[in-house]
């Protein structure tokens, strides 16, 4: 299969690219800082980690909009401004969705199902806050689950990684977010746990209602 590596020659200015979107064969469109590929495998890098996919699962790539370098400004004392109010849960969800190339409605609905948009709720198993990160998962992601912005960013990144792991399969990714990847891999799909089956179905139904409402506007 033809190599998926994209090569760019930059001349003249110093234009920077913030990242790119991987276009999966399943139709998903996922954000990555960069990628490496050969005839068999594609690696999608984010931060210090990466996810490896079969090359056949990736149709191509789209660059994120070019980001021009900041203009040099004379040093001046900025005017004093009042502190901005903290972002709302929905604003945090939308910002994280945009950052990782996921639909805003998906991240919002996962947050609603997990915590009801609350920052302080803790599950019986110890999952914390907005997108209900377990402490060990938060450690693996390098985020503070008690900080709303870090919690939502980490949860959305984890959801994006699960979508990559399951080649864009939404049901598998949602089930793994709820019950863990080990359970999904064991049953090769949504595990037969009532909580997980209801969780996946509830989010899927809400996404369909949101899509129908958007079409009818």
Q: What is the dihedral of CA 137, 138, 140, 141, to 10 degrees?
A: 120
Higher model confidence: residue 3 or residue 205?
205
Residue 5 is predicted with a pLDDT of 32
Whether 154 shows a pLDDT value over 60: the answer reads yes
Nearest to 178 by CA among 140, 204, 215: 204
| Annotation: CATH topology of 16-67 | SH3 type barrels. (2.30.30)
Mean pLDDT of 36-55: 82
Whether 101 shows a pLDDT value over 70: the answer reads yes
Q: Which CATH class is domain 89-215?
A: mainly alpha
Annotated domain spans of the chain: 16-67, 89-215
114 is catalytic: yes
Whether 208 shows a pLDDT value over 60: the answer reads yes
Tell me how many degrees the CA angle 174-180-185 measures, rounded to the nearest 5.
Answer: 90
Residue 79 is predicted with a pLDDT of 63
Nearest to 125 by CA among 116, 137, 113, 117: 137
Out of 91, 105, 114, 204, the active site residue is 114
């Amino acid at each position: 299969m033809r190599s998926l590596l994209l090569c760019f020659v930059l001349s003249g200015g110093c234009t920077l690219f913030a990242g790119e979107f991987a276009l999966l064969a399943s139709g998903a469109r996922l954000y990555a800082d960069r990628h490496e590929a050969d005839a068999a495998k594609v690696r999608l890098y984010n931060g210090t980690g990466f996810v490896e996919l079969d090359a056949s699962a990736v149709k191509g790539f789209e660059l994120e909009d070019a980001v021009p370098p900041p203009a040099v400004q004379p040093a001046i004392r900025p005017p004093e401004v009042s502190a901005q109010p903290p972002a709302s849960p929905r604003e945090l969800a939308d910002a994280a969705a945009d950052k990782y190339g996921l639909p805003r409605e998906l991240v919002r609905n996962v947050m609603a199902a997990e915590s009801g948009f609350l920052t302080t709720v803790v599950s019986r198993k110890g999952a914390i806050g907005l997108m209900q990160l377990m402490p060990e998962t938060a450690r693996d992601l390098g985020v503070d689950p008690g900080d709303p912005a870090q919690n939502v960013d980490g949860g959305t990144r984890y959801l994006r990684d699960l979508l990559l792991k399951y080649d864009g399969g939404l049901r598998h990714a949602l089930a793994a977010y709820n019950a863990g990847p080990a359970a999904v891999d064991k049953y090769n799909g949504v595990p037969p746990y009532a909580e997980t089956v209801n969780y996946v179905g509830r989010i899927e139904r809400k996404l369909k209602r949101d899509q129908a409402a958007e079409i009818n506007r």
